[in-house]
Chains A and B, each alone.
Chain A
Amino acid sequence: MFAFFAVQSEVFRSPRGIANWLDPASTLGIMAVAVALLMIGGHFDLSAGVMTGTTALTVGIVAVEFGQNIWVAIGVSLALALAIGFFNGWLVTRTGLPSFIITLGTFLMLQGLNLGLTKFFTDTVTVGGIDDAPGYAAAEWLFASRLSIAGTEFRVAILWWVLFTVLATWVLLRTRFGNWVFATGGDEVAARNVGVPARRTTITLFMTTATAAWFVGVTLAVRLTSVQANTGIGQELIFIVAAVIGGCLLTGGFGSAIGASLGALIFGMTQLGIPYLRWDADWFYFFLGAMLLLAVLANRLVRRYAEAARR
């Protein structure tokens, strides 16, 4: 993918170009990694996209409308995200209903809340002026600064993305919890039978996705300093697409964090590569769809191989 665009566009392969397409890949990648963990654990979170909006708006409203220090706002936002994640996970494990439906419900509720509460507090559909809040400089340094490498400025989110990918990979492959995630997604009943706390694992995974959404939401709020009430809507499917392109099975029990990161990378390259080639940007979704189909077909082979029981 890189070679394809790099050969045809000089801008694409220049350091500045790389910094440009790594940027959308990074925030998407942080979410894709968390969503991949959840998918390996056998669940979906359709509310993940809108949750980045909810957390960003919370930061804005608490910091601007209530005049709090931005770190207080960020803390409130995290508490809210964890609560939503817990609610999703608790409801899914409690009812045994498909997480698709449960989080679709949360998604729609949050979408309504985002719009309603933003209008209630600001009378508009935007929260702005976040950079006037006390403590903004430190928050900007942490979430939205730029690092200069070889004369090119890279967003710090890229660094966070790499860190989260490494951390998630380590957790998946080298901790007990990681083993439980694979087991819960692979066969929940069997996992519970051998003593895996499947319910706790699922709830933790939903809270992880929520935490990632919080991180991305805060990054957006701090970087843009103003947040639209419809932020994040529609992104939830993109996260899932990135995870699937990266090799996660829709049925759970298989996948990797690095794969999801690569999925996000491919997404970022395509999104910016197409305009660099001066192609019509409308083609972007066509490419995305084609990649998704290819990825799903490849995944099917994996599953067949692994489940070809020679009885």
Chain B
Amino acid sequence: MPEAVLALEGLHKRFGALAATDDVSLTLRPGEIHALIGPNGAGKSTLIAQIAGSLRPDAGRVLLGGVDVTGESVAARARRGLGRSFQVSSLAEPLPAIRNVMIAVQALAGHSFRFWKPVARDPRLVEPAMAALERMGLGHRAATPVAELSHGERRALEVACALALRPRVLLLDEPMAGLGPEGSAHLTELLERLKAEVPILLIEHDMEAVFRLAERISVLVAGRIIAHGDGDTIRRDPQVRDAYLGD
């Protein structure tokens, strides 16, 4: 079995009496989409925050490409190749779409303490950013301010920003949230093509997309992973049906 690009080992996080993350372990292997599903309040956001680095676990480790990054900042983990998108779009609204992507290209190209050369026409920044936009079908919207993009375009732009980092791991937090059936199908297609290149940890509510995309699914309920396996296993699991699938 190939080495996991992302591994969580026995993560614990408590807020007072609430165990928001209760002994969570999971892995993400090259070439796969691993979906994490769970009802509202299951602790998905808390878990993502610990993977991304904005929240420290009380116990356990986060490994990126075999390296323990548990003590590292958000920016340091990003530099190690963790790309992510947010449940609620987190973009610079007044800036053109491409500027949001270029900042990722710039980070990848090295440090940002370059004070003189203008970035606006620097092909080393513009071209990779444009390529990432085009992969997500946003090439024609490069110069449009984010504030003028549709909801679906913003979701795609978030993924483009993550892609521009040339990540080793993608952490996508409900990328389909708020997309109509058409947008959702479109993004599903894009992700399917993407996974050969970058393994994806997908947190998603859209069950149709999850069952179509994911090789493996983990179900998080009340901070614990109660089931783990491929689509069929999860669909048949009585505990999951009871807690989540709702019948």
Do A and B truly interact?
no
By a beta-carbon cutoff of 8 Å, the part of chain A in contact with chain B is none
